[in-house]
Amino acid sequence: MNRFFGLLLISLLVITSSVSYSQKQEILGAGATFPYPLYSKMFDEYNKKTGNKINYQSIGSGGGIKQLTAKTVDFGASDAFMDDKELSTAGGDIVHIPTAMGAVVVTYNLPTLKQSINLNADIIAKIYLGEIKNWNDKSIKSLNPKLTFPNMPIIAVGRSDGSGTTFIFTDYLTKANKQWETAKGRGKSVQWASGVLAGKGNEGVAGMVKQTPGSIGYVELEYALKNKMSVGNIQNKAGKFIVPSIASVTKAANVNMPNDTRVTLTNTDAPDGYPIASFTWILIYKEQNYSNKTTEKAKAVVELIKWVVNDGQVYHNALNYAPIPKAVQAKAMTILKSVTFGGKPILK
């Protein structure tokens, strides 16, 4: 009899284990390369905590939006919020949940310089418009009178893919430089001037700049630091040259946050704020009952994002991202509580 109950107990444990395993979810996401180092860490930790696997493809913000609206992933990720036109053609309401703040930095490869250089929107715009062609240009030297620049051609590097990083970079230039606003404007992709090289993703741009003496590019701060690359001090609206950091990005977030969270931080009015900063967002459909998605999968997606905007914020500082402010966190939770499955809220 004891043996019978022992076998029964073992059988029940096996069944319970199988049921527990079958309830684990694989969540698919795609999009921005800007937060990829952070998301890699966060999603790995969440997998350890819950057993749910998050398969995130770092393909650029434009690609993430395309895959979300094609309904081939559970969430998209973007450093540029979807505009009204994009939202109107999405086939359903899409919500934006901010997850972090970060800096886009201007990085360069000048082996003879051991000190960070000062740059402003005028110089950056003229470099990418092909008007400033050499590192010993008088306009660059005027911002850096104590530095000796080499007589070396400037090789500008941009993004080849649709990119939120490019949107942040060009949004800053559009706000801060009239010539750029007229010639190019803001966008996830732009038509680069002749001679500008293009790399795919933050990884591609960082790799090209690191391997090419005389080059200049723009990448997320963590990519530059991870690869031990030089970064410029950027002049903000107050006239100060600001070092990109968690502190200066946090100061840039002193903005009026709309309820849908679609706002930019570039060219901030904050006197000590870094001017090329941004939120990054996870994007999901407000109604999760689509494409044969189960209630369990929908709940797993929403619970993941809830964790990201709350407990997951502890991973930001070590990877050179700024956590979202408490007021933004509250707006993110209000948005998440509006997400439904079959018209019923998923979060209680």
In a domain, 141, yes or no: yes
pLDDT score for 348: 83
In a domain, 8, yes or no: no
In a domain, 14, yes or no: no
Q: Return d(Cα 37, Cα 276) in angstroms, integer.
A: 19
Contact 12, 19 (CB under 8 A): no
Q: Do residues 37 and 139 share a domain?
A: no
Q: The whole model's pTM is what?
A: 0.84
Count how many domains the chain has. 2
pLDDT score for 16: 36
Q: Do residues 249 and 311 share a domain?
A: no
Q: Do residues 341 and 290 share a domain?
A: yes
In a domain, 299, yes or no: yes
Q: Return d(Cα 78, Cα 61) in angstroms, integer.
A: 4
Q: Do residues 132 and 266 share a domain?
A: yes
Q: Do residues 147 and 236 share a domain?
A: yes
CA-based diameter of the chain, in Å? Answer: 94
Q: Return d(Cα 219, Cα 136) in angstroms, integer.
A: 23
In a domain, 44, yes or no: yes
Q: Do residues 60 and 90 share a domain?
A: yes
pLDDT score for 233: 98
In a domain, 12, yes or no: no
In a domain, 319, yes or no: yes
CATH number at 72 reads: 3.40.190.10
Helix axis angle, 164-176 to 61-69, nearest 10°: 120
Q: Do residues 129 and 273 share a domain?
A: yes
pLDDT score for 124: 98
Nearest CA among 161, 273, 271, 279 for reference residue 220: 279
Q: Do residues 202 and 98 share a domain?
A: no
pLDDT score for 9: 44
pLDDT score for 226: 87
Q: Do residues 150 and 250 share a domain?
A: yes
Q: Do residues 120 and 207 share a domain?
A: yes
In a domain, 5, yes or no: no
Q: Do residues 273 and 130 share a domain?
A: yes
pLDDT in tens, the chain (348 residues): 455 444 444 444 433 333 333 479 999 999 999 899 999 999 999 999 999 999 999 999 999 999 999 999 999 999 999 999 999 999 999 999 999 999 999 999 999 998 999 999 999 999 999 999 999 999 999 999 999 999 999 999 999 998 889 999 999 999 999 999 999 999 999 999 999 999 999 999 999 999 999 999 999 998 899 889 999 999 999 999 999 999 999 999 878 889 999 999 999 999 999 999 999 999 999 999 999 999 999 999 999 999 999 999 999 999 999 999 999 999 999 999 999 999 999 998
Domain that holds residue 195: 103-255+262-277
Q: Do residues 294 and 195 share a domain?
A: no
